[in-house]
Amino acid sequence: MSLIEKYPQEIEDILAKYPPDQKRSAVMPLLYLAQREGGYTTLEAMKEIGKMLDISVTDVASLVGFYTLFHDKKEGKYRMQICTDLSCALRGADQFLETMCEKLDIEPGETTEDGLITIEEVKCLAGCDKAPLFQVQGEDGIEYHENMTVDKTMELIDSLRKDSKKVKK
């Protein structure tokens, strides 16, 4: 189903934010909308967005490539994006990342076998006083988890696992 068929009202609201002759500004909000389907944008969605905004699919794809929160490949249902930048590293973020990878038996950038979690190492999340921290990017948006420990994170993963099983049933 196309985006416009699925989200007519939301698309109208997004376009209304910008001057009528500047609808290209809606490209990023529309890409977020497209990512609700599986957490990444398909070529079809990019084509549809391009058509809607009168820009080429190449332009749309170039944004997906440029911005780190847009993805063109399916990964885990939840992307656990751990900040290991300087301030966080000074508070143990590198060790946190390493331990989480060991616990889940994956490397940064990889996805757990059940397709639930992808661990990604990311740049500063503006939460330097609450390290270790990460955000979880899912289909419905982004959520912060701060002052985390490995145990608390494993609990979170368990609850995400349970939730996603419920949805499947």
Partner 1 sequence: MTHFLLRHRDIPDINQLDVFRKNGGFEAFQKAVKGMKPEEITEIVKASGLRGRGGAGFPTGLKWSFIDQKNWPHYVVANADESEPGTFKDREIMESNPFQLLEGIAICSYAVGAKDAYIYLRGEFWQVAAFLDEKIKELEKAGLLGDKLFGTEYCLRIHTHLGAGAYICGEETALLESMEGKRGQPRLRPPFPPSYGLYGKPTIVNNVETLTNVPLIISKGADWYKSLGTDDSAGVKLFSLSGRVNKPGNYELPFGTTFRKLIYEEGGGIIDDRPVKAIMAAGASSCVIRVDETILDTPMDYASCRAIGADLGSASVIVIDDTVSIEKVISKTVEFFKHESCGKCTPCREGNYWMMHLIKRIEAGEDVEANIDLLSSVAKQMRNKCLCALGEFATMAVVTGIENFPEDFTAENIGGGHE
Give the span between the Cα atoms of 50 and 59, in whole angstroms.
8
Based on CB atoms, which residue is closest to partner 1, 94 or 110?
A: 94
169 binds partner 1 (CB under 8 A): no
Rule CB under 8 A: choose which of 6, 12, 86, 165 binds partner 1.
86
Instruction: Judge contact between 64 and 31, C-beta under 8 A.
Output: yes
CB atoms within 10 A of CB 34: 22
How many residues bind partner 1 (CB under 8 A)? The answer is 42
Per DSSP, 111 falls in state: B
Instruction: Judge contact between 107 and 101, C-beta under 8 A.
Output: yes
Give the span between the Cα atoms of 55 and 132, in whole angstroms.
40
Rule CB under 8 A: choose which of 6, 44, 67, 152 binds partner 1.
67
147 binds partner 1 (CB under 8 A): no
Give the span between the Cα atoms of 45 and 27, in whole angstroms.
11
Based on CB atoms, which residue is closest to partner 1, 114 or 139?
A: 139
Minimum CB separation from partner 1 for residue 21, in Å?
A: 8
Minimum CB separation from partner 1 for residue 143, in Å?
A: 7
Based on CB atoms, which residue is closest to partner 1, 35 or 111?
A: 35
